[in-house]
Amino acid sequence: MIEVDNLTKYYGTKIALDKVSFTVRKGEVLGFLGPNGAGKSTAMKIITCYLSPTEGSVKVDGLDVFDDSLEVRKRIGYLPETPPLYLDMTVKNYLEFAAKIKGVDKKNLQESVDTVVDKCGLSQYYRSQCRALSKGFRQRVGIAQAMVHNPLVLILDEPTIGLDPIQIVEIRHLIKSFGGEHTVVLSTHILPEVDMTCERVIIINDGTVVAEDTTSNLRSRLPQTEQIYLEIRGNSSQLLSKLEAIQGINSVNEDKCSDNIIIYEIKADNKTDVRPEIAKTVIGENLELLQLKDVSLTLEDIFINVTMK
């Protein structure tokens, strides 16, 4: 659906994107990850025809963003970093205006607006001025604006920024529900968000793509030790040394909490699963096993790993 080929963008002499290439398949939800200033927004602005690339090409639905700009824009819904609201308009008037300039037919106009108002949970603020809305609701109006013409592609620049935790969950569900029907590209630096909403991730740093894969593949690609979290109740002075003796375990860190509860942080090879062995040892010592879990690598680790290289 989106083909980005050797995309390069200079701001003056400063390079923002350096030969970036990737593709986004139809119906996919793609996460665009990167530290501040990595070039996420720039890439999105080029895909949405807001900026022209210095070199390289971007095709959306087979159409070039430079040659068929208007056609591409019909197929794209875009939420910029700050929602582009006319503060003196009501939500109703604003969405109607957005629908009109995005080429929604007169007879479908009301229906389109009602649909997005419903989807984005805006009905209670339908007649309020945008000026009166909180940050979170402005963000929702921004998302509603982006999808009012039912576009093939949705480009969302940090869609959950400034929202409260409940709203974040709602917006994530909303975005996830777009997948399949719409192609979604969203940028963020909140990593769990990518984990929850995206099927595939592109990590971008200093204007270049440093990693591109599914989240689970990215995890397994890293040669890392496994971390295991163990929580027991009881008193045993021998457990620590017995745990250290298990084959595959590299190091054990003991941390005494309150009331006989001891927490162990165990580092092991990821070749063998040492958890059954740990459980047996704990039971063998006549201790109560409260928790035993695999603390696998988070996207943060991957992120730091690939961007620091």
Partner 1 sequence: MRNALAVYVREIKSYFVSPILYIIATVFMLVVGNSFKDYFIRFAMMTMQALRQATNSGGEVPLFNINSYVATNMFAFMNYMFLLIVPLLTMRLYAEEKKTGTMELLMTSPITTTQVLIGKFFSCLTIYFFMMSLTIAFVVIMMIQSNGKLDWGPIFSSYLGTFLLGSAIISIGMFFSSLTENQIIAAAVSLSIIMGLWLLIHSARYITPPYNDLISYFSLSDHLDSFTYGFIGINHIVYFISMTVFWLVLTGINVESTRWRQ
Which residues sit at the interface with partner 1, rule CB under 8 A? 11, 48-52, 70-71, 73-74, 76, 78, 80-89, 93, 97-98, 100-103, 145
CA distance 63 to 14: 28
20 or 203: CB nearest partner 1: 20
20 or 98: CB nearest partner 1: 98
6-9: Cβ within 8 A, 24+ apart: 6/55, 6/56, 6/57, 7/43, 7/46, 7/53, 7/55, 7/56, 7/57, 7/58, 8/53, 8/54, 8/55, 8/56, 9/39, 9/42, 9/43, 9/46, 9/51, 9/53, 9/54, 9/207
60 or 262: CB nearest partner 1: 60
CA nearest 29: which of 218, 211, 156?
A: 156
Residue 71 CB, nearest approach to partner 1 (Å):
8
126: left (phi over 0), alpha (psi -120 to 50) or beta: alpha
Residue 177 CB, nearest approach to partner 1 (Å):
23
Residue 207 CB, nearest approach to partner 1 (Å):
15
Find residue 79's DSSP bridge partners.
Answer: 156
Say if CB 213 and CB 200 are below 8 A apart. Answer: yes
71 or 277: CB nearest partner 1: 71
Residue 110 CB, nearest approach to partner 1 (Å):
15
80 or 248: CB nearest partner 1: 80
Residue 53 CB, nearest approach to partner 1 (Å):
9
CA nearest 16: which of 37, 32, 30?
A: 37
CA distance 156 to 69: 19
H or E segment and range at residue 243: helix 239-245
Residue 178 CB, nearest approach to partner 1 (Å):
18
Residue 56 CB, nearest approach to partner 1 (Å):
14
CA nearest 60: which of 30, 8, 33, 25?
A: 25
CA distance 108 to 234: 68
Residue 18 CB, nearest approach to partner 1 (Å):
17
130 or 266: CB nearest partner 1: 130
CA distance 247 to 243: 9
83 or 136: CB nearest partner 1: 83
62 or 284: CB nearest partner 1: 62
Tokens matching residue 4: 């980005």
